[in-house]
Amino acid sequence: MCGIAGIVNPGVAPIHLRSVVHRMTDALVHRGPDDSGVYLGEGIGLGMRRLSIIDVDGGQQPVSSEDGLVQVVFNGEIYNYLELRSALRKRGHIFRTNSDTEVIAHLYEEKGIDAFEQLRGMFAIAVWDRRNRRLVLARDRIGKKPLFYARRGSTLLFGSEIKAILTANPSLAEPDVDALGPYLQYGFVPEPRTVFREIRKLPAAHWLTYRYESGEVAVEPYWRLSIDDDGMGSRSEAEVVEELDALLGEAVRIRLMSDVPLGIFLSGGLDSSTIVAYAHKAGLRPIKTFTIAFDRRGWDESPDAEVVARHFGTDHHVLRLTEQDFEQCLPDTVLTLVRHFDEPFGDPSALPTYHVSKLAREHVTVILSGDGGDELFAGYSLYKGIRFAELYRRVPRWTGRRYFPAIVENAAQWLPQGPRYRALHAARVLGDSERPFESRYFLKGSPCRPDVFRQILTADAAARLGSSAVRFLADDVRGVLRSDVPEVSKALYLGVRLALLEDMLVKVDRMSMAHSLEVRSPLLDHRLVDFVMRLPPSMKLRGWETKAILRDTIRRYVPPSTLRKRKQGFAVPLREWLRGGLYEMAGDFLEAGDSRLPPGVFNRAGVRNLLAQHRRGEADHSGIIWLLLNYAAWRDLYIDSREVRTAVSGSMRHAVTGDSGVADTSPAAGVH
């Protein structure tokens, strides 16, 4: 596991690129505190920071082919590298290390860009191909490892995080105002765009080539997520259970490979318990498990985790946090999170993820997680909502169906506060059930409903940014939305493609790497994903039972109470915090005279009214306030202060190494 970065600037001498590449990798020291390496050539510089996992003593990067014509830096793990290495040696390749990185160099030497299709794992890779005078970048199929790039003139910059690019060229810190639309509606900016106008994400399952002589850039997919059943519906459930059991067992087993201590995140839910069960079955002893315990019922899953830990006899570690613990450090933590994301990020579960990663890193370097189970197996209430909407729309219109939401909403006014909130929610569900699928799907997951969107933005900005949210969606997403496949299948595709790839995995990567912790996700093995995505929706959502086929498969391994456990998110009491410990910070950033929200875009009076309504308990606006707070904090750190180099480079190095110095920021020839 590493952080990688680099630059291509044709004609620039290596001596002028050295300081640029070192600055870029210094900004990524938290991703790889154990080692560093640089390759320099005419107009090309590759760099990396290493977190040593496999071949600790001999796995330094960059790594080259035998003749030196292929140079590789790599972030991630290749789980089938031993199999690939054996085949390559039989074909005459000579290896100097036992690392998976060297396998990539030899495989590329033989296969070119077709090499990436043979890799099984998580990765962001940069290859300098001297023979063909091109730089090649590639990213894993599900997007577990990030990779960003920016092109200006003949110069191409890339890095595992945006901060590496900004450290090389701070003038790229120009916001894309249109990106605010999708951010407010989805909580993130969908790939390939970022919140910076000239910086792009390399999409998952894609490679990029930059040709040295012409400056031509091409981006192409090498794998696509598919929901075509390919005849899977004709198989019996017993056959599916048998194959799913084998795939789960293999996906976990190959991810236990490590030369450093390894553990498992355990919430007590179905997904993380599945990982513990198969790790136990694979013979891992002792299993180190990690859980956060909270002092508030409703968001404390530690008793459920204890049940699983006792069942498998794990070496269980629990971090107990009170609301007071959280609230005391919240303002500083928010700024820390923004620095690690480099973009505004709307998922508040980043807070507990940050803390549980910190706990785990005190004991292990590698962690397995259950990420992906809800998205693959229809684990969210969203899927039951889609089923409900399908049934509700079958109610004949002559019954007065369209008046039901208003009747429930009017009746809610006579109820006490708790039941009133539930009744109003029910009225909204009934009303939303009449909407087209696309509207229902994005309304369900959006913290910023249309009325609030119009309230907090100026009229001109609301009109412009509302359309930008749709324009930012990738072609494959829009294609599925327009297709005639069943609505549950559409939702499952979007759950993986958007909620998982653009939100969940971004959160897990940044929060774990903030503590130099590698996270592996067995449920996202691409062979397992291929299999599960082709299963009929009825095998996942059986009546009102979510994750049905997964429950059938793991029933023999986990405690009965785990199978009966209700779905519980990794949540925090954001509503209360934004009326208490975070309210002052929100007010300072959002409604004070020097508000960080850009004028002409935001309606300051509307934002003030939003905060006041939330503070008085008249409405729960916590989701959108959190989005606004993160956006304002991001502007303060990256845009308005113009101290990008200090903010993104010095603070990161200090956080990991304690070094209070800031990397050399003198301009290098040819970078701008």
Tell me the torsion sign for CA atoms 471, 472, 475, 479.
negative
- The arrangement of strands across the sheet holding 217-221 comes to 63-64, 70-78, 121-129, 134-139, 206-211, 217-221
Q: Which of 316, 315, 371, 326 is nearest to 352 (CA)?
A: 326
Whether residue 658 is predicted with pLDDT greater than 50 in this model: the reply is no
Whether residue 422 is predicted with pLDDT greater than 80 in this model: the reply is no
Whether residue 593 is predicted with pLDDT greater than 90 in this model: the reply is no
Q: Report the alpha-carbon distance of residue 136 to residue 5 in Å, rounded.
A: 13
373-391: average pLDDT: 87
Residues in a beta bridge with 295: none
Tokens (6 digits) for 363: 């004991």
CA 136 → CA 144, 147, 307, 551, 659, distances in Å? 19, 12, 48, 42, 34
What is the identity of the amino acid at 11?
Answer: G
pLDDT tens, position by position, 2-50:
899 999 999 888 888 999 999 999 999 999 888 889 999 999 999 999 7
The active-site residue, picked from 1, 2, 162, 529, is: 2
pLDDT at residue number 57 = 62
Q: Report the alpha-carbon distance of residue 423 to residue 411 in Å, rounded.
A: 8
Q: Report the alpha-carbon distance of residue 114 to residue 125 in Å, rounded.
A: 13
Measured in degrees and rounded to the nearest 5, phi and psi for residue 289 equal -120, 155
pLDDT at residue number 509 = 96
Whether residue 82 is predicted with pLDDT greater than 90 in this model: the reply is yes
Prediction pTM value: 0.91
Q: Report the alpha-carbon distance of residue 242 to residue 249 in Å, rounded.
A: 11
Q: What is the C-alpha radius of gyration for the chain, rounded to an integer number of angstroms?
A: 25
pLDDT tens, position by position, 280-304:
999 999 999 999 887 767 677 888 9
Tokens (6 digits) for 187: 């909580």
CA 584 → CA 275, 323, 572, 607, 613, distances in Å? 41, 17, 18, 14, 15
Quote the longest CA-to-CA distance of the chain. 80
Q: Report the alpha-carbon distance of residue 74 to residue 63 in Å, rounded.
A: 9
Q: Report the alpha-carbon distance of residue 404 to residue 396 in Å, rounded.
A: 12
Cα 75 off chain centre by: 15
Tokens (6 digits) for 86: 């054996």
- Catalytic-residue membership of 2: yes
pLDDT at residue number 302 = 87
Tokens (6 digits) for 373: 């189970």
Tokens (6 digits) for 424: 């109003």
Angle at CA 634, nearest 5°, toward 628 and 637? 140
Q: Report the alpha-carbon distance of residue 548 to residue 59 in Å, rounded.
A: 42
Q: What dihedral do alpha carbons 437, 438, 440, 442 form, nearest 10°?
A: 150
92 secondary structure, DSSP code: T
In the block, residue with structure tokens 């596991």: 1
Q: Are 11 and 34 in contact (CB under 8 A)?
A: no
pLDDT band with cut points at 50, 70 and 90 for residue 667: very low
